[in-house]
Amino acid sequence: MDIPPADLSTGRAEPGLDPAARAGHSGHPPRLGFFTDTSVCIGCKACEVACKEWNAVPEDGLLLTGMSYDNTQGLGASTWRHVAFIEQPPADEGRDIRWLMSSDVCKHCTEAACLDVCPTGALMRTEFGTVVVQDDVCNGCGYCVSACAFGVIARRESDGGAHKCTLCYDPIGDGLTPACAKACPTESIQFGPLDELRERAQQRVAELHDAGRPEAQLYGADPGDGIGGAGAFFLLLDQPEVYGLPPDPVVTTRDLARMWRNAALAAGMKAGGGGRRYIHIGAAVRHRGARLARGSPRDAVRVRRIRGGRRGRPQHASRPPGARRAGRQVRRTGGCGRAHRQEPAAAPPGPGRRTVPEGAGGHDDGGR
């Protein structure tokens, strides 16, 4: 593999590198993704069922929605593939309605906001460039839910954790095809190396244009868009908003660096030069802001380290037995954010607590 790994000592990422390399995977396989060609989707929903079967995603309710034959409604914690049925009125009197069907899925963004905001490192970038939630690490904080530009990821009420498409991380590691693509009878869902898929998609659009379908367009295939291009992209036969897709998605953490800088400025002014606690926060904020400003790695481990404190500890280190269970209980009561914020104050100071001396704050010190 000729792609150099991201420079972990500085966190600098070269633009244009593929996300797996930026996350620190060296010698990784090519980036894998989906090309969903909605022009041949017949709305059979085999992808939805195959996905749930393979990934043991629970059934999530018998609800007759009355929205065409779509009783799934949208992507969620227990729906990782969703076939949208869009009915458009007949173009002329006496003609049939136009039916658009499209199998939606997690976009596996190049710039993935869910991954940026995850405080636990549960969301990670795989060696295939896909984005996966680790069930056993997720604490159910829900930051990723509001961060996703597409409304893909969601928390499941039954277990409190966030869930979404894994692009079938387990079978693709063995060279197999994800369940949805395998089950698709019309090859509307195509799986493979992203470069190949993009090439194939361009050809398909050209074919459709030649066949008198000028409305055919690709969605999420451009690496220059607001999410750096999607790992799962689409061929649409109408404008994206018709399918319920944002027309110009932007990674929601784009402005985070600027926001953190402003917050740091405000905190600094409020502290008025005194108080060790404010200096501590300011230093940490500057540290994080600087990192994001220069295009931080989307690597979850790094974000975790930058955060420091309790969350900065490796998950397994010096955790008392039963701590995980206690965490889950806190989560179920719905007060997780507050509980986490209060906890460090009550805990005895130890190696897990980060103290940043005034003036420090340049580089990653391992979070301790």
Partner 1 sequence: MTTTYRLTEHHTAGGMSRFLPYLSELQPAFFCEVSPQLAADRGLAHLGWATIITARNAIEARVLVTERIRPLNVQGRTLHQVGLPWHWGPNGYTAGDAANELSHLALDPNVHIQEVKAMACDIRPGRRPRGAALRELVRTYQERAGITRETGTEM
Distance of CA 78 to the CA centre of its chain: 16
Length of the chain: 368
The smaller minimum CB distance to partner 1, of residues 96 and 136, is found at 96
CB of 236 to partner 1, least distance (A): 22
Best CA proximity match to 201, nearest among 175, 219, 223: 219
Best CA proximity match to 248, nearest among 257, 240, 256: 240
CB of 128 to partner 1, least distance (A): 26
CB of 88 to partner 1, least distance (A): 10
The smaller minimum CB distance to partner 1, of residues 62 and 317, is found at 62
CB of 66 to partner 1, least distance (A): 5
133 bridge partner residues: 123
The smaller minimum CB distance to partner 1, of residues 56 and 317, is found at 56
Asked if residues 323 and 317 have their Cβ atoms less than 8 Å apart, the reply is no
The smaller minimum CB distance to partner 1, of residues 99 and 278, is found at 99
163 bridge partner residues: 154
DSSP one-letter string for 153-211? -EE-TTT--EE-----HHHHHTT---HHHHH-TTS-EEEEEHHHHHHHHHHHHHHHHHT
The smaller minimum CB distance to partner 1, of residues 79 and 130, is found at 79
The smaller minimum CB distance to partner 1, of residues 90 and 357, is found at 90
Asked if residues 53 and 179 have their Cβ atoms less than 8 Å apart, the reply is yes
- Rounded to whole angstroms, the Cα distance separating 344 from 349 reads 8
- Rounded to whole angstroms, the Cα distance separating 360 from 368 reads 13
Going by the DSSP 8-state scheme, the letter that residue 58 receives in this structure is P
Look at the block and give the residue holding tokens 């420079």: 7
The smaller minimum CB distance to partner 1, of residues 44 and 339, is found at 44
CB of 242 to partner 1, least distance (A): 17
Asked if residues 129 and 108 have their Cβ atoms less than 8 Å apart, the reply is yes
CB of 235 to partner 1, least distance (A): 22
CB of 243 to partner 1, least distance (A): 19
- Site residues, partner 1 (CB under 8 A): 43-45, 48-49, 52-53, 59-64, 66, 68-69, 71-72, 87, 89-90, 97
Look at the block and give the residue holding tokens 């079967």: 53
CB of 73 to partner 1, least distance (A): 11
The smaller minimum CB distance to partner 1, of residues 184 and 201, is found at 184
For the chain, how long is the longest CA-to-CA vector? 77
- Can you state the angle between helices 323-332 and 336-346, rounded to 10 degrees? 140
